[in-house]
Structure 1
Amino acid sequence: MRAAHQNEGIFFMSKSSRIVALMIGRGGSSLKGKNVLPVHDVPLMVWAASAAHRSAHIGRYYVSSDDDEILETGRKAGYTSIRRPDELASATAQSSDAVRHAMKLIEAEGDVDIVVVQHANVGTITERIIDDCIEGLLQDPSLSSVVPCHDMSEYHPYRGKTVLEDGTLSPFVPGSGNASANRQELPPCLFFDHSIWALRASAIWDKDGQGPWPVMGQRIKPYITEGCFDVHTLEDVAKTEAWITANGVAKPVYPLA
């Protein structure tokens, strides 16, 4: 019997096979083996896997990669392997295409309502963030996705410049040359964390989904955070360890029995 819990007067059933975690990660990187680097003596990607296992909703777990070590690490963390073809594992391959490739195999094993896409190089994630995003989709059927976002007004597009042929600068966004220099006076500008994406399964196939990640569909709701650390350098590993310690995240049991 599945347990139920209450959030703002709405009851949700827990651990459904129709709610799936899909971790994605390529083997190729400027930081060799970044997805499996030790973070507090546990492979980086396992921190994300552990958060998904603690989710009140996720009932199936998959990892998509071209890399044997990533797939094996995922297997030890309770994730079913999906071998990604070479054309979806290059430096120019699109993550949305990798998600769609994996979805064909996942849906063949059973119906899916929600997919939580996880990035293997992000360990700054908790089950609370995952479940809040899932529950956002459960509460509002009109949404195509709920995605963690943070404010980065210092990099507001109205402040961006493009380089002209003569080497001088011009506003990147046409008409933004008269924008205020005060961040507080600029319209809200959010950036995706890329820790997770909570996606409506049907939206993944929407040909008109918002770029550059069309699998998010057309109606994307932000889940506001303070940002995350997607690991690209050894310094990012140290930042991730500090975040995990500061947030009291439990150390994963790895490998799973």
Structure 2
Amino acid sequence: MLKILAIVPARAGSKRLPKKNVRKLNGTPLVGYTLNAATASKYISHTIATSDCPEVLAIAKEYPNTTALLRPDELASDTATSIDVVKHAIDYAQEQGIEFDTICLLQPTSPLRDSEDIDNAIELFIAKNAKGVVSMTECSHSPLWATPLETEGQFKQFLSTLTGTRSQDLPKYYQLNGAIYLVDRVIFKQEGKLLFEHEFYPFIMSSENSVDIDTEIDFLTAELIVKNRI
């Protein structure tokens, strides 16, 4: 049986949406949605919430099998990477004797990703004997309907390629949604990356569950969906 360590990175700062990780989304702090999903998962054995925010750490302490990890200042800046944060969390887990063989990064900005999404992604990981799985969702608009507008010629060329083209006839494209990253611990330690070309598989999520909160509009959209579900 796999031992899966979930890592929830939730720093205090956010330029576009200040303190978004503790902002109430229909009465629940944003980070709470991800912690709830991790706790409800059938497969996640332990969760580490890593943050420089006292409020996030206090919330995390309310959840079972969850460690609230104070993030050092150098990992709380705008220049800190997700990779550095994950490395810090897994080093701490190993120091504390927390056993795991797979890492599951769950960003709190994807509050509508639920435990079923997590478990289905993990089951794909197991079924494929994968080194990694990453969540994706179908693009709402095909990138073939987009073009740079640096010159007038680019616009004219773009229009010429669309003559008689129907949107429903275009191939489907998929994009990363930032909700779930699964990676083998050994591979991550060797490569220091969350994404690889070999033995890596996409897990497709619904567009509704893929809302990624970066702006006020994103937050309002997520809140509308949550209220609609209730």
TM range (shorter): 0.7 to 0.9
CA offset at residue 156 of structure 1? 2.2
> Does the C-alpha gap of structure 1 residues 80 and 191 become closer, same or farther in structure 2, counting only changes over 3 Å?
same
Structure 2 unmatched ranges of 5 or more:
none
CA distance in 1 between partners of 2:211 and 2:132 (Å):
21
Match of 1:238 in 2: 220
> For residues 149-188 of structure 1, what are the alpha-carbon distances to aligned partners after superposition, in whole Å with 9 as ceiling and x for unaligned?
112263527944385xxxx3787xxxx9899544566665
Residue 51 of structure 1 contacts residue 126 of structure 1 at CA under 8 Å; is this kept in 2? yes
Match of 2:60 in 1: 74
CA offset at residue 222 of structure 1? 1.2
CA offset at residue 24 of structure 1? 0.6
CA distance in 1 between partners of 2:37 and 2:100 (Å):
20
User: SS of the counterpart of 2:110?
Assistant: coil
CA distance in 2 between partners of 1:234 and 1:223 (Å):
27
Match of 2:47 in 1: 61
1:86 aligns with 2:54: no
Residue 12 of structure 2 contacts residue 19 of structure 2 at CA under 8 Å; is this kept in 1? yes
Q: What TM-score do you get using the length of structure 1 for normalisation?
A: 0.73
> Following superposition of structure 1 onto structure 2, how do residues 98-117 of structure 1 map, counting pairs within 5 Å?
98-108=85-95, 109-117=97-105
Residue 134 of structure 2 contacts residue 176 of structure 2 at CA under 8 Å; is this kept in 1? yes
Letter in 1 for 2:148: K
1:154 aligns with 2:141: yes
> Does the C-alpha gap of structure 1 residues 75 and 95 become closer, same or farther in structure 2, counting only changes over 3 Å?
same
CA distance in 1 between partners of 2:170 and 2:79 (Å):
33
Residue 161 of structure 1 contacts residue 170 of structure 1 at CA under 8 Å; is this kept in 2? no
Aligned residues between the structures: 219
Match of 1:19 in 2: 4
Match of 1:252 in 2: none
Letter in 2 for 1:25: A
Residue 161 of structure 1 contacts residue 169 of structure 1 at CA under 8 Å; is this kept in 2? no
Match of 1:221 in 2: 201
Match of 1:133 in 2: 121
CA distance in 2 between partners of 1:46 and 1:230 (Å):
15
> Following superposition of structure 1 onto structure 2, how do residues 169-208 of structure 1 map, counting pairs within 5 Å?
180-181=161-162, 182=165, 188-207=172-191
CA offset at residue 225 of structure 1? 1.8
Higher mean displacement: 152-161 or 176-185: 176-185
What percentage of aligned pairs have identical amino acids?
A: 25
> Does the C-alpha gap of structure 1 residues 206 and 242 become closer, same or farther in structure 2, counting only changes over 3 Å?
farther
CA offset at residue 83 of structure 1? 2.2
User: SS of the counterpart of 2:203?
Assistant: strand
Letter in 2 for 1:19: I
> For residues 22-77 of structure 1, what are the alpha-carbon distances to aligned partners after superposition, in whole Å with 9 as ceiling and x for unaligned?
10122111212100111121111111111111111111111111222222221223
Match of 1:122 in 2: 110
Residue 142 of structure 2 contacts residue 170 of structure 2 at CA under 8 Å; is this kept in 1? no
User: SS of the counterpart of 1:230?
Assistant: coil
CA distance in 2 between partners of 1:84 and 1:127 (Å):
25
Match of 1:97 in 2: 84
Q: What TM-score do you get using the length of structure 2 for normalisation?
A: 0.81
